[in-house]
Structure 1
Amino acid sequence: MQIQETMQNNTCVVCVTGRLDATTAPELDQAVTQIIEQGKHKMVFDLTHLEYVSSAGLRIFLVVAKKLKGLNGELSLAGLQGNIKEVLEISGFPSILPCYDSMDDLPA
């Protein structure tokens, strides 16, 4: 898994590439915790290049969303395609977090 952080319109975009599973989830958790500690409380996970997500990865999304909500922040998921979109929909994520099919669909 690769994690890349960029800023876009006062939002921290965290691009996750590869597989997000029990082996790689702690790495994402650690990276995002450092971002939050830097005071970046509006975040988008760009999942355009994510190939696989397990329940451990889904848990990270929920944990990060809860941390950000406690800091009056927000987490969105974008770049939802194929299997990733299907897993998130079956798991009910669109009713919990703002979810977008592409980064271009994010509100300005």
Structure 2
Amino acid sequence: MTDPRQPGVGARTRVRVPTSRRSRRGQRGAVTAETMMVIPVLVALAMALVWLVALAATQVRVVDSAREVARAVARDEPRATAVSLGRRVAPAGSRITVHDSAEIGRA
């Protein structure tokens, strides 16, 4: 138990830091201003992340399309059939060309 006659022993003390009204008034609205500066940065970051995910998805579709064309060419299917298989998977607006060489076939 604490002895009430001994101040500061086991008792909670509160230290109040004097602040002037002028300094408190000068900071009024600072959080709002800081928030308004951070929100556009967060929106830009979110848009960049969405763009990167879309870019990665497009890359996967391009690789899948090239794989389909290469498989069709390896099975000795006609070029038109190979290209049509690749177009099914490829992103819109993609150009698909098939090049044959003596060493390897590239799509």
- TM-score bucket (shorter structure): under 0.3
Largest Rg, 1 or 2: 2
TM-score (norm 1): 0.27
TM-score (norm 2): 0.27
Q: Which has the higher strand share?
A: 1
